[in-house]
Structure 1
Amino acid sequence: MKGKGATAKNYFVLNTGAKIPAVGLATWQHGGDLCAEAVATALTAGYRHIDCAHLYGNEVEVGKALAEAFESGAKREDLFLTSKLYCATNSHKRVENSVRVSLKSLGVSYLDLYLVHWPECSALGDATDPSWKSASEYRQFSQRLKPTWESMEGLVQMGLVRAIGVSNFNIQQISELLQFAKIVPAVNQVTTALLSPGLSDSGSEDEAGTPRITFRRSRSVHGPMMKLSVVVDIAERHNKTPEQ
């Protein structure tokens, strides 16, 4: 596996003290041999963060690429692997089983980061509309999020994951989580496009001094920006796609 490791300018420090590469390969919508090839190519190019999820249905293919990298001399400690809790899973036993399935598929003994994929992994509701429609719905979220998060915290204690976080949570949902979390989420990963207003890749610390929760963009290189004439023109001049 070629490529340079992380430097001080291309990673963020999580509230756990761990270093997460600033750029990673998302494996959503990658399947079969194409997925394994994409991961292998990324690792050769210098990527060290691979973002996965049980819901993507391709962790076995990611695992094949990782196995080849390890056979070629790559070290597990030099990689940062993320996966996500399947949304239909919320009991303690199922949370543990879910992460063990991901570990087996990826062929590793631990994950660097494990995320609750969507808020409705813990509560009823529409993923596209995170606002609360009633006090009852809010209580349902709170009551179901707590045992899910406690199970996530248990994974850290068991050594199956190094850090835990959330994905696609809004500020209100984060605030509710912080009311009972013994382990503060290390990351909130949200799907956003480049040039989205009011968003930052850096972490933040609130007025009460809560440890920083790093904000990570997912699928940044997509959306309307890829259709801007200046982006298309540059891509054509270099015989590349707008995303490249």
Structure 2
Amino acid sequence: MWQTPPGDTERAVGAALDAGYRHVDTAAAYGNEAEVGHALSAAMTSGIARNDLYVVTKLWNSEQGYDTTLRAFDASMDKLGLDYLDLYLIHWPLPEVNAFVDTFRAFAHLRDQGRIRSIGVSNFEPEHLDVLIDETGIVPAVNQIELHPLLPQQELREVHARLGIATEAWSPLGQGSLLENPRVVAIGEHHGKTPAQILIRWHVQLGNIVIPKSVNPERIASNFDVFDFELSEQDLASIAELEDGTRLGPDPRTFNFTG
């Protein structure tokens, strides 16, 4: 629920769960963990089993370090109102801070306690992954990265495949910048689908975990309706030509913000 105001979060999560979504992604930095928790509580009260939900949150940069991570996790869990978390992510590597190894050791401790099912990272580049794995002996389950047709991250996806790390895409629609792209629109018209559905289907066929964001119930439902068609090789080749290296978020190699 990135960039979703707290007031809209509970309604959006509820609409997504009603549409069939079960994977909910938030972060301490988004400032809406409590609202996500309220929506999850309402869903479980109405009959959705906790085991059917997959809830993810992320540790904010200012809390990296072993002891601070443990405290931050407790704070997030209090807001979410959950007994355990399905996936916990280090939000950014912060190479100048250089605390992600101790942070991940705290993650592993929480996992060993049964408080987290899986542990992973976000925005890690290959060199960050190498250090993390070499120092801890643990391969992250997931790396959530900026990924869209302008920035398909082929090299990093290949590293993930070699190491057994799942690739999860944030800003999968290029923060909306690709929804009016003539190439994407034309492919959508051919399949009778929206540009957003074409982009989400592109991720699915690449093997990415994809988390499109919307607060509009109709678009939330539409984004889920991508399993009744398939992009052709020609479609995929056409979308591949959109790659230009555009990065819409910070560069993980230089981003060290802890505010």
Q: Which residue of 2 aligns with 1:165?
A: 120
Q: Retained in 2: the 8 A contact 1:202–1:214?
A: no
The Cα offsets for residues 67-98 of structure 1, whole Å up to 9 and x where unpaired, read as 11011011111010111011101232211111
Residue by residue, what CA displacement relative to the aligned partner does 1:41-86 show, whole Å, maximum 9, x if unpaired? 1001110100110000001111111111011011111010111011
- AA paired with 1:84? K
Question: Paired residue for 2:170?
Answer: 218
Distance 1:76 1:203 in 2: 33
Alignment partner for residue 181 of structure 2, among 216, 228, 235?
228
- Aligned position for 2:105: 150
Give the whole-Å Cα distance in 1 for the aligned partners of 2:9 and 2:93.
27
Q: 1:120-159 alignment to 2 at 5 Å?
A: 120=94, 123-124=95-96, 141=98, 144-159=99-114
Q: How does 1:178-189 map to 2 (within 5 A)?
A: 178-189=133-144
Work out whether residues 201 and 216 of structure 1, in 8 Å CA contact, stay in contact via their aligned partners in 2.
Answer: no
Q: Cα distance, 1:232 vs. partner?
A: 5.3
AA aligned to 1:112 is D
Indicate the SS of the match to 1:226.
coil
Does residue 174 (structure 1) correspond to residue 129 (structure 2)? The answer is yes
Structural RMSD (CA)? 2.6
Counting matched residue pairs gives 193
Equivalent runs, 1:18-57 vs 2, <5 Å: 27-57=1-31
Structure 1 alignment gaps of length 5 or more: 1-26, 125-139
Contact 1:48–1:79 at 8 Å: present in 2 too?
Answer: yes
Mark the CA change 1:214 to 1:203 in structure 2 (over 3 Å): closer, same or farther.
farther
Match of 2:54 among 66, 80, 85: 80
Q: Which letter maps to 1:103?
A: M
Task: Work out the CA distance in 2 between the residues paired with 1:242 and 1:96.
Answer: 38
- Structure 1 length normalisation: TM-score? 0.71
Structure number with the bigger relative contact order (C-alpha 8 A, sep ≥ 6) is 2
Residue identity in the other structure for 2:173: V
Distance 1:80 1:104 in 2: 17
User: Partner residue of 1:67?
Assistant: 41
CA 79–242 in structure 1, closer or farther in 2 if over 3 Å, else same: closer
SS of equivalent residue, structure 1 residue 174: helix
**Structure 2: which amino acid aligns with 1:30?**
T
Q: TM-score by structure 2 length?
A: 0.67
State the Cα deviation string for residues 104-125 of structure 1 (Å, max 9, x = none).
Answer: 11111111100000011xx42x
Which amino acid in structure 2 is aligned with residue 41 of structure 1? A
Query: Which residue of structure 2 lines up, in the alignment, with residue 193 of structure 1?
Result: 148
- What residue is the counterpart of 1:136 in the other structure? none
**Please, which runs of 5 or more residues in structure 2 have no aligned partner?**
198-218, 220-259
Instruction: Give the counterpart of 2:89 among 107, 115, 118.
Output: 115
**Deviation for aligned residue 1:198:** 4.5
Runs of 4+ in structure 1 off by over 3 angstroms are 194-206, 230-235, 240-244
